[in-house]
Amino acid sequence: MKKIVLIFMIACGFFMKATAQDDLLGDLVKDDSSKVKQNITTATFKSFRIINLQSVEMTGKGNLQFMISHRFGQVWKEGKGLSNIAQLFGLNSGFASTYMSFDYSFTDYMNLGFAMTGNARFESWAKFKLLKQQTGLKNMPVSVSLFSLANFDATEGSSPDDLTWNRFSFMHQLLIARKFSEKFSLELIPSLIHYNIVNYGINNTNNIFSIGVGGRYKLTNKTAISFEYARQLNGYEDLLDESASAVNYTPDLFSIGYDWDTGGHIFQFFLSSSTSATNIAQLSSNTANFRPGNFSLGFNLNRSYGIKKVVQTH
């Protein structure tokens, strides 16, 4: 009888201990569920460019992203008549501009890039992630990146005074973006372009300012429509060149594109009001008037490669 009582008391002890553990685990689950979770917004844009202009996105840590951008001639040139059709609306017009770039991220907050822009010009840049859109413990309504670029003209100089330092120009942009929903994202892009030397003597300036806006609307999981518009604010009208001829640039840049994510590549087919390959030329010396026929066809192709394996720590 004593043995039966002893076994019963031990069984009750185990049951009470197990119940206490269950209650403790339940309290921990309740405490964990009551904590505010941090939700960081991702994929505001699918590429580090909207079309021509930079997006707030960066390549992932340890990844190398290669992009090739190709632009053809204008769709419909004035005075060319039906020869525009024979030239396949610029696809076979004899004009082509190719831009090839590489971006690599050493950290989650910075990436470096290099590009060959055609006509013996080269670019290099750095992009820094300053803020991430997020909700929860910390609320941040926008993502913000800083982009700084240097462009070098390596063409053969025609003057002994054509010093190497004079061949540089620079661009600085603040990229401010918000993902309003799973389908729609928008970005504001104020820019400053600086030329170390300018070739015009009247109404020109070394510093060119512009303001741009770009967006993306998701159609399906694989496709989207992208658009961008930028306005040059100064240094585009009533200029004089070295021969005293009047020069005027078009202050407006407009582009619209169709994005297709194939899984391994991001392919973008677009129409743009500029045939220039670089942002510096697009935002400070655009020669195409803002008319339907002056738009040119082009495409961007992006491919990302994992160079360094990133180990996740928890």
Quick check: 8 pLDDT over 80?
no
**pLDDT above 90: percentage of residues in the chain:** 49
The mean-pLDDT minimum among 8-12, 109-113, 241-245 falls in 8-12
For the segment 281-300, what is each residue's pLDDT rounded down to a tens digit?
999 988 887 676 678 889 99
Q: Which pLDDT belongs to residue 125? A: 97
Quick check: 13 pLDDT over 60?
no
CA distance 149 to 230: 18
The reply to whether the predicted model has a pTM over 0.85 is no
CA distance 163 to 205: 19
Quick check: 279 pLDDT over 90?
yes
- The average confidence (pLDDT) of the chain is 83
CATH topology of domain 39-306: Porin (2.40.160)
Q: How confident is the model at residue 161 (pLDDT cuts 50, 70, 90)?
A: low
- Average pLDDT of the segment spanning 53-69: 93
More confident residue, 185 or 82: 185
Task: Return phi, psi of residue 78, to 5°.
Answer: -65, 140
Q: What is the domain partition of the chain in residue ranges?
A: 39-306
Quick check: 17 pLDDT over 70?
no
Q: How confident is the model at residue 208 (pLDDT cuts 50, 70, 90)?
A: very high
Q: How confident is the model at residue 72 (pLDDT cuts 50, 70, 90)?
A: confident
- Average pLDDT of the segment spanning 168-185: 97
Q: Which pLDDT belongs to residue 33? A: 56
For the segment 108-144, what is each residue's pLDDT rounded down to a tens digit?
899 999 999 988 889 999 999 999 999 988 899 999 9
For the segment 84-102, what is each residue's pLDDT rounded down to a tens digit?
676 665 666 667 788 999 9
Quick check: 187 pLDDT over 80?
yes
More confident residue, 75 or 31: 75
The mean-pLDDT minimum among 33-42, 115-124, 230-239, 299-308 falls in 33-42
Quick check: 1 pLDDT over 60?
no
Q: Which pLDDT belongs to residue 90? A: 62
Q: Which pLDDT belongs to residue 89? A: 58
Quick check: 265 pLDDT over 60?
yes
